[in-house]
Amino acid sequence: MKLNKILKNTFLIVLACLALSACATKKVSTGQMQGDVYTGTDTVEYLASGVPDRVFFATNESVLTTASRETLRKQAGWLRKNSNVTIVLEGHADERGTREYNLALGERRANAAKDYLMTYGISSDRISVLSYGKERPVDSGSNPLAWSKNRRAVTVKAN
């Protein structure tokens, strides 16, 4: 637990530095997106060292990218090691869609991540799914980079 917290704090500091440097240099969005899938780490938190908590999606898509699958394999490894942990997979959409469709889309994204974890032996009993649609963006911006950060499925420790 404690180690986790320390790691999280150091991470936050790193994050802050990154954010500052991003502001200073006005980085354009291209470096942080592939197609329109977010590839940066600005908003990513860690379940444990080296285990990112979220995966990102293309507009209107719920297909897992190569990077997403790698993240989920790490999460599966961590879940196998911590067999008492249960999780909530939170699915999100960007603001460029109708509210009701986005609720369904968030649910589909969270399930795409859940299904992948299950193929790595994580029992569905340990995973619940919660879609927020477009209700809980992490980035309040109205631009393609902000939207790419918001199209996500986040694994949250439930216990």
Partner 1 sequence: MNIFRFILLSLILILFSTIKSYSLIEVDITRGNLNPLPVAVSPLSIDEKSKKSFENLLKKKNIGEEISLIVENNLKTSGLFNPLNKDAFLQSPDIANLKPRFEDWNLIKAQALITGKVTNVEDKLRVEFRLWDVLAGKEMMALAFTTVPTNWRRVGHIISDKVYERLTGEKGYFDTRIIYVAEEGPKTNRVKKLAIMDQDGANNKFLTLGNELVLTPRFNPTSQMVTYLSYFRNLPRVYLLDIETGLQEVVGDFPGMTFAPRFSPDGKKIIMSFAKDGNSDIYTMDLENRIVEKITNHPSIDTSPSYSPDGKLICFNSDRSGYQQIYVMKSDGSNVKRISFGKGIYGTPVWSPRGDLIAFTKLHKGKFYIGVMRIDGSGERLLTENFYQEAPSWSPNGRVLIFYRETKTNDKGEGFSAKLWSIDLTGYNERMVKTLTDGSDPSWSSLLSN
Decide: is 22 part of the binding site for partner 1 (CB under 8 A): no
Contact pick of 11, 29, 130, 157 for partner 1 (by CB under 8 A): 130
Q: What distance in Å separates the CA atoms of residue 44 and residue 63, rounded to the nearest whole number?
A: 19
**Per-residue binding letters, 56-75, with partner 1 (x by CB under 8 A):** ----x-x-------------
Decide: is 45 part of the binding site for partner 1 (CB under 8 A): no
Closest to partner 1 by CB, 120 or 132: 132
For 69, residues 6+ apart whose C-beta sits below 8 A from its C-beta are 116
Contact pick of 14, 50, 99, 123 for partner 1 (by CB under 8 A): 99
Closest to partner 1 by CB, 74 or 96: 96
Pairing type for strands 37-38 and 127-133 reads unpaired
Closest to partner 1 by CB, 108 or 126: 108
CA angle, residues 65, 120, 150, in degrees to nearest 5 = 35
Decide: is 148 part of the binding site for partner 1 (CB under 8 A): no
Instruction: For residue 81, give both structure tokens.
Output: 């090691």
Residue by residue, DSSP assigns 38-93 as E---TT--EEETTEESEEE--TT--PPPHHHHHHHHHHHHHHHHSTT--EEEEEE-
Interface residues toward partner 1, by CB under 8 A: 60, 62, 88, 95-101, 103-105, 107-108, 110-112, 115, 129-132, 135-143, 146
